[in-house]
């Protein structure tokens, strides 16, 4: 089938930063020729952190080299290490469990809810032991985890609450921004995230100024801000780039509009797909509260057939996690013998992400929805 160019729908938009090309080139020149010759953790990074801190009303925002390193820094700042257990979802991105293992602690895998695909608070609660130091729910695709219940779970058991909000910047649940429900959260700025950039980076966000200060110390080899070659603790290199800091500051004013466009596309998809549940295609729960619209994901009984059908119409799709984390060789030794995570396994078999980025035209969005509905009708 030959697809008309106007209806080719890329999953990752190739021209994501084209509108800001002149600004980016100007920033590269400005930073490169700055007499200060400060290319990491300079005044532009400080200004970027301050902007986010004020917007979120957070105690601290600490820019670092990636969302993954942000998670690791939070766990280290909480003194989690050997002998400790951290409860994480079985269906999630690998760095979630890897960051726990990197501290010497043990990840304990909890199953997910079948509707939101986020960690099930009930199952997580049953996994708490005397060794449990923290619970780390993750927001998934377009839906935030049930943070009120995880807050209560952490309070009831006296454990730490770390929020993997890497995909959820801009999400708000019950008036609380993603990242600020737990003792600390993280955002990732990798290209395809809601506030993605042309490079790697992330931040730690927290309401705890003392915890923020510990993260800030750890991200630069244990050196206090402004004091080079004075190492107070063993830290890591997780520093932020000045060019990216200036570029993200430049782009931040348009972030709400980009996020709203994603929300509108997601709402349209959900309206179109809601009647398809009895035909094997289930959209995310309809709501605007607790949504982040990083990725729009359906559950499809014939997932691979649906992906092939959409590809024939020029629509790119993506399968993020084809296996639950305990099924990977890297994490298999942390899975109890014979243990199963049936909802995570089902999500791995059925989930399919559709294009939802803000550069999609209305015609492209309608094309995606039409082809999904046509598949459901043909395979009813």
Question: 212 in a domain, yes or no?
Answer: yes
Task: Flag whether 8 is in a domain.
Answer: no
- Considering the domain boundaries, does residue 91 fall inside one? yes
The domain in which residue 50 lies consists of: 20-253
DSSP string, 242-281: HHHHHHHHHHGGGHHHHHHHHHHHHHHHHHHHGGGGGGTE
Contacts of residue 72, defined as CB under 8 A and 6 or more positions apart, other chains included, come to 99, 102, 103, 236, 238
Task: Evaluate whether residue 165 is within a structural domain.
Answer: yes
214 among known catalytic residues? no
pLDDT score at 1: 38
Mean pLDDT computed over 96-109? 97
Is residue 166 scored above 70 in pLDDT? yes
Active-site residue, selected from the candidate residues 113, 133, 160, 193: 193
Helix orientation angle between 362-378 and 303-312, rounded to the nearest 10 degrees? 130
Determine if the pTM surpasses 0.75. yes
CATH number at residue 213: 3.40.640.10
Q: Which residues pair with 40 in a beta bridge?
A: 241
pLDDT at 94: 95
Domain count, the chain: 2
If residue 172 lies in a helix (H) or strand (E), which one and from where to where?
strand 172-173
When pLDDT is cut at 50, 70 and 90, the band that residue 232 belongs to is: confident
pLDDT at 118: 97
**Cα→Cα distances 259→56, 183, 262, 264, 274, Å:** 16, 25, 5, 9, 22
Query: pLDDT tens across 293-304, in order?
Result: 899 999 999 999
Distances (CA, A) of 315 to 283, 290, 360: 18, 27, 12
Q: If you average pLDDT over residues 48-57, what whole number do you get?
A: 97
Chosen domain end from 212, 232, 253: 253
From CA 212, how far away is CA 199, in angstroms rounded?
24
């Amino acid at each position: 089938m030959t697809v008309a160019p106007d209806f080719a729908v890329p999953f990752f938009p190739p021209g994501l930063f084209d509108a800001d090309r002149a600004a980016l080139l100007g920033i590269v020149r400005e930073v490169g020729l700055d007499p200060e010759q400060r290319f990491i953790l300079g005044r532009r990074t400080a200004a970027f952190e301050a902007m986010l801190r004020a917007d979120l009303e957070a105690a601290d925002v600490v820019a670092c080299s990636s969302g993954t390193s942000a998670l690791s820094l939070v766990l280290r700042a909480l003194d989690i290490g050997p002998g400790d257990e951290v409860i994480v979802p079985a269906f999630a991105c690998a760095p979630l469990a890897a960051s726990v293992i990197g501290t010497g602690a043990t990840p304990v895998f909890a199953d997910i809810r079948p509707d939101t695909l986020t960690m099930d608070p009930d199952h997580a609660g049953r996994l708490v032991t005397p060794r449990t130091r923290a619970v780390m729910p993750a927001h998934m695709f377009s839906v935030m985890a049930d943070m009120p219940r995880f807050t209560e779970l952490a309070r009831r058991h006296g454990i730490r609450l770390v929020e993997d909000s890497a995909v959820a910047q801009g999400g708000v649940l019950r008036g609380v921004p993603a990242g600020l429900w737990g003792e600390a959260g993280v955002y990732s700025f990798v290209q395809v995230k809601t506030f993605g950039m042309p490079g790697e980076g992330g931040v730690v966000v927290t309401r705890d100024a003392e915890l923020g200060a510990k993260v800030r110390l750890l991200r630069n080899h244990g050196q206090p801000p402004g004091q080079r070659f004075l190492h107070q603790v063993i830290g890591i290199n997780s520093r932020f780039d000045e060019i990216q800091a200036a570029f993200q500051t430049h782009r931040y004013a348009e972030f709400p509009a980009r996020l709203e466009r994603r929300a509108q596309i997601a709402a349209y998809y959900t309206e179109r797909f809601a009647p398809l549940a009895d035909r094997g295609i289930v959209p995310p729960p309809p709501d605007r509260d607790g949504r982040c619209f990083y990725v729009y994901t359906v559950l499809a009984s014939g997932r691979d057939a649906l992906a092939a059908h959409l590809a024939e119409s020029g629509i790119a799709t993506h399968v993020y996690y084809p296996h639950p984390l305990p099924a990977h060789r890297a994490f298999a030794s942390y899975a109890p013998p014979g243990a199963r995570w049936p909802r995570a396994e089902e999500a791995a078999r059925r989930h399919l992400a559709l294009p939802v980025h803000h550069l999609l035209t209305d015609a492209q969005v309608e094309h995606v929805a039409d082809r999904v509905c046509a598949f459901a009708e043909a395979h009813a």
